[in-house]
Structure 1
């Protein structure tokens, strides 16, 4: 929706607390987000006699800031987590997962090329785009990353059995928060959703007949929200849930009730999750210009095939990201951190760990942590732009040999450390 894709704020501070007991791990995040409305997502709006989808990303622009506004995209927080199985992740973090051909990058692969791909396309996973993946999913040296050369299915299955994937839980302000969950994913040759059922689905619609569902008028008057009110800055209360269409509150769409100028209905109805996709619980509140979000799960889950299992005393690589009003690459990300559960993370991985920042999750007793007793770490997040893993490993990069040998980290590449960010 906007040509101003680079945010004025290129650094964001993420206050982070991490605690665990014998059974569960908890994360508590707080970050400033002065723009309200980040809990409204992917809406169908009736305008000028037809239904239109308002889902284009508007990452740094409110509904009233542009005459052709057509974007609603939720705020989110996510993180990548590894137990040392993915080569290069402890040095390069999320930059290891951004590649030539990925959606939203200038090099984005065409839908036709993806659909013709033996593994990703119509005869395989049925995908139409390239998303996050790790280089080890591709043939060649560990750092080579041509998505067109994805390993055979049997080799991918062996990698997954060996734990060579990244865990990617996510809290979504619209698509998971009202249900009290996060959504759970993992990254190997694609960013997969974990097995089971996540917190949202997608309703069918078309410009003439409208959506499948609307709100029960006893829940939301006239079966829909009013786009004109939201455009003027009157957002639904983030804490009362009426901005999200839950299936138990939905009824079959009736145009005699909910087809009026400015009627607005979510395209993504919410449902109860189950299975590995429901491993992470989550709760978030936007208040006074900032989000406070908690995420928690069992240390050991019933789904080791797509979830990293955690143990007290273990050391992991962890890197968070925050999205505002946009998906894909339009986010703020952290460099990689070593995270120890109750221990100083002095355990080195297979490769270079110098200059990788360290965090310690603190032990608590009882059912949930008292956050007043847990240390706060301020994590610097930066806007990554369109830098790809191929840019870092190409022959033209002045330090490509050190990168290919993992003899350098993102911290060292850009000569920035947490203290310099936060000065």
Structure 2
């Protein structure tokens, strides 16, 4: 992934470019009418629209995201996103059953009211800094104090379907869960049933027949990412009418889009797919009105940054980067004794004017890997040959798997 980072006295900009030869990554989570009932088409993933399997039902958007920390989260500068993946998370072989989550005092009906376990940081749990059992989450008062002290990871995302048409990203933070920031995100969820269908459809004046045609899209006729209609804006939605939009192959997004506000709308963003490549820009103010769920930024300071890309898939099906030190106008020092110069250290360039002139901003090539099911528990397990170094924070992910960044970039698979 090619990455450029620029800032001025008020804002920071990120620009990402990566190859993505398969079109259609701007379609997401569709309700489709076939054989007399409505079905949700969101899996399996990843989805490629021109594959020969006529019954493929995966529609999942492309995304780019990153984790950002100001040094408050112990271990993040060494281990990046692996610090947040734990035993019991959804999509892992150890995934905690929904019923167990719902009956848990913290995550269940009487607490967060969740149905699964997602990312969290070990500091949200009791015990030593590296201990991470999801059943030992700290009391709410202690979590609130950690959040007030800035002990969380900032997690902004650009989503090709659920945020890009609105000109925003979506903003999240990780403490005891992957929480959405305060306010309102760019998307909501409409109710539906197999018999009655969705609540909403497109106004037929916007989309003929009130719905997209699944068969056309499956066969490769995809709405244009620039000027086609593929996302259901609430402003373009009307109450579902089965006499209009209940026909074989009718397809309506389950996630209508809305105007965001509050901390959830801190990041503006725009993305364009052309010639098999995404170009995405994300930007926000250095200082925001919501310091308890957004990492505040300052010129001359150093942060830890770790990116990821999803293509037509969710959950663990993504490509992740190791952690990098990011200096806003200053040269950072990466921890560890090996591979601490070059691509492990990024410097944001200062710019003037309304927006950066990207042709004059340094570009970094960031290698990404598929993380598989390697999680934090594996790294700190007593059977891991370097568990003591991990617990002491004296080794980094780059060193742990002996990946020299320069050699890493030259590897054929990247």
Which TM bucket (shorter chain)?
over 0.9
Q: 2:368 aligns with which of 381, 390, 403?
A: 381
Post-superposition Cα deviations, 1:271-317, rounded to whole Å, max 9, x if no partner, equal: 00000000000000000001000000000001101000000001000
CA contact (8 A) 2:305 2:323 kept: yes
Inter-partner Cα distance in structure 1 for 2:127 and 2:318: 30
Cα RMSD after superposing both structures: 1.1
CA contact (8 A) 2:49 2:219 kept: no
Structure 1 match to 2:151? 164
DSSP 3-state at the match of 2:366: strand
Say if 2:132 is the partner of 1:149: no
Inter-partner Cα distance in structure 2 for 1:167 and 1:133: 12
Inter-partner Cα distance in structure 2 for 1:332 and 1:353: 26
Structure 1 match to 2:265? 278
Structure 1: state its 5+ residue gaps.
1-13
Structure 2 match to 1:214? 201
**Could you tell me how far 1:241 is from its partner in structure 2?**
4.8
Inter-partner Cα distance in structure 2 for 1:251 and 1:239: 23
**Could you tell me how far 1:418 is from its partner in structure 2?**
1.8
Structure 1 match to 2:77? 90
Post-superposition Cα deviations, 1:314-366, rounded to whole Å, max 9, x if no partner, equal: 100000000001111100000000000001013x7xx7586451000000001
Structure 2 match to 1:30? 17
Say if 2:389 is the partner of 1:402: yes
For normalisation by structure 2, the TM-score amounts to 0.97
DSSP 3-state at the match of 1:184: strand
- Alpha carbons of structure 1 residues 323 and 362: separation in structure 2 relative to 1, 3 Å: same
DSSP 3-state at the match of 1:46: strand
CA contact (8 A) 2:47 2:60 kept: no
Structure 1 match to 2:105? 118
Inter-partner Cα distance in structure 1 for 2:106 and 2:337: 34
Structure 2 counterparts to residues 72-83 of structure 1, below 5 A = 72-83=59-70
Structure 2 counterparts to residues 123-134 of structure 1, below 5 A = 123-134=110-121
Structure 2 match to 1:289? 276
Any runs of at least 4 consecutive aligned residues in structure 1 with deviations exceeding 6 A, and if so which?
A: none
CA contact (8 A) 2:187 2:258 kept: yes
**Could you tell me how far 1:116 is from its partner in structure 2?**
1.1
Q: 2:353 aligns with which of 366, 378, 401?
A: 366
CA contact (8 A) 2:9 2:299 kept: yes
Inter-partner Cα distance in structure 2 for 1:292 and 1:187: 26
**Could you tell me how far 1:128 is from its partner in structure 2?**
0.6
Structure 2 match to 1:180? 167
Structure 2 match to 1:235? 222
CA contact (8 A) 1:78 1:322 kept: yes
CA contact (8 A) 1:90 1:353 kept: no
Q: 2:252 aligns with which of 265, 278, 297?
A: 265
Inter-partner Cα distance in structure 2 for 1:168 and 1:217: 37
CA contact (8 A) 2:319 2:371 kept: yes
For normalisation by structure 1, the TM-score amounts to 0.95
Structure 2: state its 5+ residue gaps.
none
**Could you tell me how far 1:421 is from its partner in structure 2?**
1.6
- Alpha carbons of structure 1 residues 70 and 179: separation in structure 2 relative to 1, 3 Å: same
Deviates more, 1:355-364 or 1:403-412: 355-364
